[in-house]
Amino acid sequence: MRGCSSFAVVRLLRLGALLGAFGLLGLVVPRQLPAADDDELNAAQEQAMKAAVRKVAPCVVQIETTGGTELISGGRIRKGVGPTTGLIVSSDGYIISSAFNFANRPSAVHVSVPGRPTREVARIVATDTTRMLTLLKIAATGLPVPVAAPKSSMQVGQWALALGRTLDPNVEHPPSVSVGIISALGRIWGKAIQTDAKVSPVNYGGPLIDIRGRVLGVLVPASPQGQDETAGVEWYDSGIGFAIPLEDINAVLPRLKEGKDLKRGLLGITPRSGDLYSAPPVVGTVAPDSAAAKAGIQPGDVIIEVDGQPVTRHAQLLHLLGGKYEGDVISLKVRRGKEEIKFDNLVLSGTVKVMAHGFLGVLPVRDDPELGEEVRYVFPKSPADKAGLKPGDRIMKIGPDAKQLRPFSGRDELTGLLNTLSPGAKLKVEVIRKDGKKTETLDVVLDQVPDVVPDALPERASAQKALAPRKRGGPKLPAIDKKERPEPPGKDDKNEEAKEENKAAKKPEIGLRKRSSPSQDREYWLYVPENYDPNISHALVVWLHPAGRFGQKPEDILDLWSEACQQHHLILLGPKSENETGWTASESEAVLQAVQEVLGQYTIDRQRIVAHGMGVGGQLAFYLGFHARDLIRGVATTAAVLTSQPKDNILHQRLSFFIVAGQKDPLVKEIADSKAKLVERKFPVIYREIPDKGHEYLDGTTLKELIRWIDSLDRQ
């Protein structure tokens, strides 16, 4: 098949599937197919597809819900008032559908079944929260059940037809059909089939079938980054759709029939690196009381095998664990130093205890290449304050006791060490005093990060040596993200130094600049203050404008921010949405590409990259915070509602929130609820309500506080 285009290959695959379908349908296929024109081929395809739809149509039902909330996912999505789709999976009245169809928690559910004269009252039996499916039950027997296509028979390129029953109120008519192919297998961490057939709320819960009338899977919205029932809904009709294999659904059907929701099986670890696809699967943190903690897995362990299958990247680990449920048993092998340790009969848990960051109570002096860390500011009443730390003191070592004090080099290494510790942890801290240069060892008990912003901060925030090579004194430390600090001395250090020298050699563009994305398909603006110095690390604020006119032009926001950019070393980045109604999650990739481009050209403080938005721009800021954890360290929103359940706090990827609402904003209650959701997940949150403000931008007082919050994001 050398020289064939990808289109030609797909067409041959489709033709093969079509001919196989003719045989199964009892149609005579000549030994030598005469050359057929496009009309004849299209007619043959249409005949086979109609036969496949007729075969499965009696099993496709229409679902109508009443009651419940109109807005779901925190107000981001409006639940449609029309019917949805389901698939009969058991002759005694069990029907499976997408959990999305019940995200508004309806008070009543009715099902129309082909061949039955009246609608049936249905009850919700259980939900599979890892595959986002809901099982219903109606009082009926003798229902038709579809044939499941074996997963072993599925091939990329074969026909796939997406069916739904939402457009036509008469269930005796054929269901709606969208035609495509299977475009990938084992997606969404091994749980789903991917298709290019149009998939949307029109057919969520309906079947994806093959040309033989067998059910490949049940259509659901899905995303590799999301876990709730609305994850992936933003991709509707985009050519990226997902279906859960019916073979897998049938395997867990007995458990769902028992009426107990099925939860995702959790190991309870986070990776050290944010790079899932190339970095080795090194354990960064282990959640207390998790399956991993009970088994004895430790930070720094390298996972090398799951259930006998080798693992070299964290993405492989997610793929192998993605389809597991609470209570499932796995075996795991790790490498700890030079030793390999195997953990058999490890029982996955359904929940993981959320951990908060331990708080010492200091701000560091940034861009200091010397060993240890100079203290810039001590938070009042913090553990550091109670222990007697003062601005100007230099922290040199920390450890659980005097015999295990560990030296470190710079802010990022100290932050990495603190990331492994929770509130209540006891520490010894060795410091060199500013006055007298005396060395002392202090006792500290870490606290939780407070919801306060300093009223004022010392003007000296940087040692202004960001490009100077860092001094090394201690051993290589675990649990520090490779992206957030250089490796120990060696070739990589030299490469990094060369990059910094090249960056410094090029005269940076300053002032307001209008740019195009690397792919030339998007525009954004960039403001770099006139006093930009590459030896001072700058915070990066990504401004995500709301719908409407305000904020789309750089002048709208620069009038408020330019002076602060000069005084506090901030760079502003302003991407532009192409949608009149505001941002969508699908635009996040273009935003992140612009961020990466700026990171490569300016000295950016990786601990102070902030997504800041208003309205729908704020909603995208929330999204970026949870889906770009390796980049975003702060989310600042105004007049924006958190539109989904927040992800867990990841200790080695700190994330903080500054949420503002106007007291007269109609959404003020929902915005306040956003804070509650985040606090429950142990995220540090500053929440402010501005008197006499509605759905508006910040007032001057709150803006100044936000700028101080950004200046203190690297608190420890």
The predicted model gives 141-146 an average pLDDT of 95
Confidence of residue 657 (pLDDT cuts 50, 70, 90): very high
What are the extents of the domains in the chain? Answer: 6-52, 57-257, 269-347, 358-483, 507-711
Of the segments 10-14, 164-168, 309-313, which one has the largest average pLDDT value? 309-313
Confidence of residue 25 (pLDDT cuts 50, 70, 90): very low
Confidence of residue 33 (pLDDT cuts 50, 70, 90): very low
Tell me the CB-side half-sphere exposure of residue 444, using CA atoms within 13 A.
Answer: 34
pLDDT greater than 70 at residue 588: yes
pLDDT greater than 50 at residue 4: no
Q: Does domain 358-483 have CATH number 1.10.760.10?
A: no
Determine how many CB atoms are found less than 10 A away from the CB of residue 440: 13
Answer positive or negative: Cα dihedral of 498, 499, 501, 507. positive
Residue 18: the pLDDT is 46
pLDDT greater than 70 at residue 32: no
User: Could you tell me which CATH number the domain at 507-711 has?
Assistant: 3.40.50.1820
The predicted model gives 108-133 an average pLDDT of 92
Name residue 194's beta-bridge partners.
184, 242
Spatial separation of the C-alpha atoms in residues 90 and 68, rounded to whole Å: 27
User: What pairing do the DSSP bridges indicate for beta strands 656-662 and 634-638?
Assistant: parallel
> Within its chain, how far is the Cα of 367 from the centroid?
30
pLDDT greater than 60 at residue 573: yes
Q: Which residue has the higher pLDDT, 466 or 485?
A: 466
What dihedral angle (degrees, nearest 10) is formed by the CA atoms of 295, 301, 303, 305? -60
Question: Which of these ranges, 11-15, 322-326, 699-703, has the smallest mean pLDDT?
Answer: 11-15
Q: Which residue has the higher pLDDT, 229 or 122?
A: 122
pLDDT greater than 70 at residue 677: yes
Q: Which residue has the higher pLDDT, 484 or 554?
A: 554
Q: What percentage of the chain exceeds 90 in pLDDT?
A: 59
Spatial separation of the C-alpha atoms in residues 119 and 110, rounded to whole Å: 6
| SS3 of residue 554 by DSSP | helix
Residue 430: the pLDDT is 96
The predicted model gives 38-65 an average pLDDT of 89
Residue 8: the pLDDT is 37
pLDDT greater than 50 at residue 9: no
Determine how many CB atoms are found less than 10 A away from the CB of residue 414: 23
What dihedral angle (degrees, nearest 10) is formed by the CA atoms of 135, 139, 144, 146? 0
Residue 105: the pLDDT is 76
Residue 484: the pLDDT is 36
pLDDT greater than 50 at residue 16: no
Confidence of residue 238 (pLDDT cuts 50, 70, 90): low
Helical residues (DSSP H) of 107-237, grouped into ranges: 187-190
Q: Which residue has the higher pLDDT, 152 or 482?
A: 152
> Within its chain, how far is the Cα of 106 from the centroid?
27
pLDDT digits (tens, 9 = 90+) for 428-439: 999 999 987 899
Confidence of residue 425 (pLDDT cuts 50, 70, 90): confident
Q: Which residue has the higher pLDDT, 61 or 421?
A: 61
Among 351, 131, 262, 233, residue whose Cα is nearest residue 643 = 233
Question: Which of these ranges, 20-34, 43-57, 247-261, 343-357, has the smallest mean pLDDT?
Answer: 20-34
Question: Which of these ranges, 11-15, 352-356, 562-566, 619-623, has the smallest mean pLDDT?
Answer: 11-15
Render 235-294 in DSSP notation, one character per residue.
Answer: GTTTT-EEEEEHHHHHHHHHHHHTT-PBPBPB--EEESSS-TTTS--BEEEE-TTSHHHH
412 burial level (CB within 10 Å; 0-12, 13-18, 19+): buried
Q: In the CATH hierarchy, which fold is given to the domain comprising 57-257?
A: Thrombin, subunit H (2.40.10)
pLDDT digits (tens, 9 = 90+) for 328-375: 999 999 999 889 999 999 999 887 777 788 999 999 999 999 999 999
pLDDT greater than 50 at residue 214: yes
pLDDT digits (tens, 9 = 90+) for 590-627: 899 899 999 999 999 999 999 999 999 999 999 999 98
pLDDT greater than 80 at residue 28: no
pTM here? 0.64
pLDDT greater than 50 at residue 6: no
Question: Which of these ranges, 379-388, 400-409, 556-565, has the smallest mean pLDDT?
Answer: 400-409
Among 191, 161, 210, 232, residue whose Cα is nearest residue 25 = 210
pLDDT greater than 70 at residue 504: no
Computed over every residue of the chain, the mean pLDDT equals: 85
Topology alike, domains 269-347 and 507-711: no
pLDDT greater than 80 at residue 140: yes
Spatial separation of the C-alpha atoms in residues 68 and 229, rounded to whole Å: 15
Among 457, 369, 527, residue whose Cα is nearest residue 704 = 457
User: Buried b vs exposed e over 653-685: b needs ≥16 C-beta within 10 Å?
Assistant: bbbbbbbbbbeebebbebbeebbeebbebbbbb
The predicted model gives 507-529 an average pLDDT of 86
pLDDT greater than 90 at residue 148: yes
- Which homologous superfamily is 269-347 in? PDZ domain (2.30.42.10)
Among 611, 520, 517, residue whose Cα is nearest residue 572 = 611
pLDDT greater than 50 at residue 479: no
Among 238, 213, 212, 209, residue whose Cα is nearest residue 222 = 238
The predicted model gives 117-146 an average pLDDT of 93
